[in-house]
Structure 1
Amino acid sequence: MIFGNKRSEIEILAQMLNSAKNKVKKTNLLYSTNISYSNFIKYFNFLLEKEFIEEKDGNPSGKIYNITIKGEKFLDCINTLLKELK
């Protein structure tokens, strides 16, 4: 938390990308962020549109989401930024 008690948008994105390293379902990604569903969808769609995460089919129990190489680079940039701000 950079400027107070609430997490910034960038910190929420970082949490989602870190969770997506483990090839997770959408629900697990939501739980990992601990935010409302409506807020989650906003961040989730952003990550999909920017191709920072990708959807993987083939799992009989539902779609799986995984971080992309582009997403890993973005996460590295976020982590560097957060480290400098602390």
Structure 2
Amino acid sequence: MQTSVKHRKLLTIPKEMVMELRFYVMKQVMEMTGFSRQHLYNEHARGKLVLKKAGGRTIVMAEDFERWIGSFHNVAPAKAA
């Protein structure tokens, strides 16, 4: 049984031939993080998330996404009462 990845629900490409994504569209970032589109634009306005335009679409480069995720702060453990 061969493992494959569906691309745009039209074409089946063998998994070993699929390149790692170099960028994400906003919808993908929203799905991966659970954040709203407005929150992502707010992060961009604060200079925390780099957004780019490509053919009228707003994208996030994979390395910028990883950098942004890595900038999240750790949450301190709750103190016992």
Classify the TM-score, shorter chain.
0.3 to 0.5
Task: Name the TM-score, length of structure 1 as normaliser.
Answer: 0.42
> Which of the two has higher C-alpha Rg?
2
Task: Name the TM-score, length of structure 2 as normaliser.
Answer: 0.44
Greater fraction strand? 2
Greater fraction helix? 1
